Structure 1
Amino acid sequence: MTRCAPTVVRRPRHATAERPFLVVWEATRACPLACLHCRAQAHTARHPDELDGAGARRVMDQVAAFGRPRPLFVITGGDPFQRPDLTDLIAYGTSLGLRVAVSPSGTPALTRENLAAVRAAGAVAVSLSLDGSTAERHDVFRGLPGVYDRTLDGWRAARELGLAVQVNTTVTRSSLEDLADIAALVKREGAVLWSGFVLVPTGRGEGLESLTAGEVEDVLHFLYDCGAVMATKTTEGHHFRRVALQRTILDARGERPVLGALYERLSARAREAGLFEGERRAVRRPPMDISSGRGFVFVSHTGEVHPSGFLPVSAGNVKNHPLSDIYRGSALFTKLRDPSLLRGTCGACEFKTVCGGSRSRAYGFTRDVLAADPYCAYEPGSFPYRSELAALVEGTRS
């Protein structure tokens, strides 16, 4: 079992206390959409205090200063296409040796022409959001008609242009029963990665109905099943790593987990849609062991530095302090990198060094970044195969 450990949960090849694996920069909060879950509570106009071109280039300089291997640099929003200097900034980041990805919205700016310009400037990937398997479902969530069709057109254009496409789906109460059909659509259209974003109550997302921990558990296991036929991951669903470890052990023993009615419905619908038919992946994509402040850092449109875009607590501003100093030495970031400080069930859990729960969700519900993740159904100590588990968890830390 030990020799399989590196493939179950991946870790960055460098110390995450020294260098992030992923840096996300919020280029603007301007966006014409009115998405029900919007973290940024986007507005149609750009904020007067957002980082200008010179400030944005300084951020990229600071990201490059972390050294090699360079972090992946993701430009998000709002809608990054609302910045007229977007391609210039992509080209600058590329010249520094950064791998640059862009996360545009399904607005009228999501055109083949703009995607071609992004690609020509050096971007290697885009991530697009798909929150419904039909135009009716997706457009209601995004607040305007036509977003679904623009997203699919942009998706196809990006692939044809040679951009890697990641597709993100927000897991909310309204999307739960649609997840199998969304998965079938993602598989059919083709994407390098499908990410299930487990909702965090921040921004407009505070107004959406909460899920139960049991429902989230069912979703995570369904996503794990989907990983047999396409690459899957989660955003703010860190206990997906726990699921991967548990399922690896159970699969080796020929056993299945005991799950709920939602999992059974999603599995049945996926079979009806033909999701699991055809060729299987030769190698399952292991989830990456990074979390808020531990391999991940978010820079806001005004330069505030957060452990995650969904954790609205600032550790400093790049206008006043280098990003590397904030990431490596701020009290907030160093606290988040110490699993021994976790409280409640997360603190008692044997998976805390490889999972740790969503610090963003803990804060969203309790205003305590170290509290237990309320969307985790696992009871610490309840998984029976402790020796196999210890070997796998130790393997992820080596």
Structure 2
Amino acid sequence: MYRINPRIKWRWEGDKILLSTFIGMNRIAGEVVELYDKGNEPESVVEAMHKRYPDVLYDKIRSDILAITDQLVTLNIVVSEESEAFEDVPHDPFAMGHIGQYFGNNLTAPVGVACEITARCNARCLHCSIPSTTEDTGELTTDQWKNIIDEMADIKVFGASFTGGEPLVRKDTLDLVKYAHDRGLRVSVATNGYLLDELMIDKLVASGADFFMVSLDGATAETHDTFRGLPGLFEQVKSALQLLVDKKLSVGVISIVTTMNVNEAVDIIDVVKDLGVTRLSLANIRLAGRAAENRYLEPTVEDFTKLLSDLYEKDQKVTGIDVKYPNLPAKLYMESIGTDSYRKVVEQGKIGVCGAGIIGCAISPTGDVKPCDMSGPVSLGNVLKMSLKEVWDTSDVFAHLRTVQVESQIPCRDCQLSHMCLPGCKAQPYQIGEGGNKLLADTTRRQCFDAFRDELMKES
């Protein structure tokens, strides 16, 4: 007897299915998945499919269904009914490209929603998109968040990420985690790690949390604690990460690259690898909230070029850790590691591409829906006044994010390399209100074009 791996969520998208790993499958494969979701033997699935398609030769159906089954088993999507150890299935590293090609960037619901359950925080990070506070400033109540979670489950959102602020300062976080888990959502917690001691970890896991994303923005206590505004945080983060690894829990580390850590960002790899962490994402800063006020935090073109050179060299030597590179313009990669190496990095899926408004969105502590959890004070609609589904389906901003291409952005449309660039932060014009021009590329891409204008400008 086979069934779907409990770690996998799936849903119909028209006549195709989408899995929580971002793999898309056609209708026939979808029907097979649906049958295995109810628990079935391969031969029973063959019989069921033959009844649905009586005009197709039985041997043809049997051959196709068994081939699909073998593929599903190989991908760990379908597992034995008796199996008790369920491995995570890796996410498709080219998810954003496939979502565009296979589903036209037009999903019926988000894949995941970042739930900013509080603006309160015990840190004072220089880049935070939320104006953190120690006070409850009109946050949604427990029941209101549960109503949102109900809708997320009803429209088949796959996962909820509880974030903030610092989500662990809210007294009902465990209750919300359990509620989301019981409604069938995969639950992750994004935290600065300060309150993540062994007791809290055990309570979160017991409530249903199955992934932890912890921030680490320096290879030294001086850098990290200064950036985060919380003395002692660096050592506490290392302690929390060690606990998570020792308990064999799924954990990733995210590091925001700024002028404060750009020269030691590569050393963060050693810090987290020594703790046993196997996933690290280096992300460039998003100019929203405090970061828009502290623009000195954004590294220069020269800073990024050196970082990419050092990062690539380090990544070729290190093993046992998957490092995601910052999403930077193709020209910076080509200047630092060369065109062939850049293509290799892209082909390996090592550069994260933004899915705001395409596969995900965020909900603020007061119920405002926005492109992502780095969007700052942006509202595309409030869940107290309209449903999440309505915002997802009708927002002009979401529609823009789903259709705008690199080649149409300013100044990328004048660049010879625009066809080689991955999309940057397409929501930045909405975040920092730059004259209302929604076609402006993010500031890093504009800086790149300005620095190499003579080389990059298309011939008129």
TM-score of Structure 1 vs Structure 2, range by shorter chain? 0.7 to 0.9
Q: Is the CA contact 2:263–2:307 (under 8 Å) kept in the aligned structure 1?
A: no
3-state secondary structure, aligned to 1:42? coil
Equivalent position of 1:339 in the other structure: 404
Q: Distance in 2 between matches of 1:84 and 1:112?
A: 17
How far, CA to CA, are the matches of 1:124 and 1:116 in structure 2? 11
C-alpha distance in structure 1 between counterparts of 2:106 and 2:276, whole Å: 35
Q: Which residue of 2 aligns with 1:274?
A: none
2:133 maps to 1:46: no
- Cα distance change of structure 1 residues 231 and 285 upon mapping to structure 2, 3 Å threshold: farther
Instruction: Give per-residue Cα distances to partners, 1:246-302, cap 9 Å, x unaligned.
Output: 989714999x9xxxxxxxxxxxxxxxxxxxxxxxxxx95544544321222011001
1:177 alignment partner, SS class: coil
2:190 is the alignment partner of 1:103: yes
Q: Which residue of 1 aligns with 2:444?
A: 375
Q: Please name the residue that 2:249 is paired with.
A: 163
**Partner amino acid for 1:104?**
T
How does 1:311-390 map onto structure 2 within 5 Å? 311=375, 312-340=377-405, 342-348=408-414, 351=418, 355-362=422-429, 363-364=431-432, 366=434, 368-376=437-445, 377=448
CA distance in 2, matches of 1:375, 1:291: 18
8 Å CA contact retained: 2:278, 2:322? yes
Change (3 A) 1:36 1:61: same
For residues 248 and 65 of structure 1, the distance between their equivalents in structure 2, rounded to whole angstroms, comes to: 47
Higher relative contact order (CA 8 A, sep 6+): 1
Whole-angstrom distance in 1 between the partners of 2:433 and 2:311: 24
How far apart are residue 365 of structure 1 and its match? 7.5
Question: Deviation per CA, 1:37-87, whole angstroms, max 9, x where unpaired?
Answer: 22212111222x2111111112212222332xx433210011111111111
**Is the Cα contact below 8 Å between 1:242 and 1:354 reproduced in 2?**
no
Q: How many residues align?
A: 345
Q: One-letter code of the match for 2:324?
A: K
Residue segments in structure 2 that go unaligned for 5+ positions in a row: 1-90
- Name the TM-score, length of structure 1 as normaliser: 0.76
Question: Secondary structure in 1 aligned to 2:443?
Answer: coil
2:106 to 2, 12, 17: 17
Residue 31 of structure 1: how far off its partner (Å): 1.0
8 Å CA contact retained: 1:27, 1:301: yes
The letter of the residue matching 1:41 is P
State the AA in 2 paired with 1:374. T
Q: Counterpart in 2 of 1:130?
A: 216
Q: Which amino acid aligns with 1:40?
A: I
Computed over aligned residues only, the root mean square deviation of the Cα atoms, in angstroms, reads: 3.4
Mean CA deviation greater in 35-44 or 287-296: 287-296
Q: Which residue of 2 aligns with 1:298?
A: 362
Question: Any idea what SS the aligned residue of 1:150 has?
Answer: helix
**Pair 1:190-2:257 in alignment:** no
Structure 2: distance between partners of 1:83 and 1:118: 13
Name whichever of 225-234 and 158-167 sits farther off. Answer: 225-234
> Secondary structure of 1:40's match?
coil
Shift of the 343–289 alpha-carbon distance from structure 1 to 2, 3 Å rule, reads: closer
Q: Which stretch shows the higher mean deviation, 186-195 or 78-87?
A: 186-195
Q: What secondary structure sits across from 2:192 in the alignment?
A: coil
- Report the CA distance between 1:185 and its aligned residue: 1.0
Query: What are the residue-to-residue correspondences of 1:161-240 with 2, within 5 Å?
Result: 161-205=247-291, 206-209=293-296, 210-220=298-308, 222-223=310-311, 227-228=315-316, 229=319, 230-233=321-324, 237=327, 239=329
The answer to whether the 8 Å contact 2:119/2:166 transfers is yes
* Structure 2 partner of 1:267: none
1:7·1:286 contact (CA, 8 Å) conserved in 2? no
- Is 2:150 the partner of 1:58? no
Check conservation: 2:214, 2:253, Cα contact below 8 A. yes
Query: Does the 8 Å CA contact 2:353/2:424 hold for their aligned counterparts?
Result: no
The letter for the 1-side match of 2:398 is: F
Aligned to 2:120: 30
Distance (whole Å) between structure 2 residues aligned to residue 168 and residue 252 of structure 1: 22
Q: 2:301 is aligned with what amino acid? A: A
> Aligned in 2, Cα 1:251/1:355: closer, same or farther, shift over 3 Å?
closer
For the residues of structure 1 that align with 2:110 and 2:196, how far apart are their CA atoms?
Answer: 29
Deviation at 1:306, TM superposition (A): 0.4
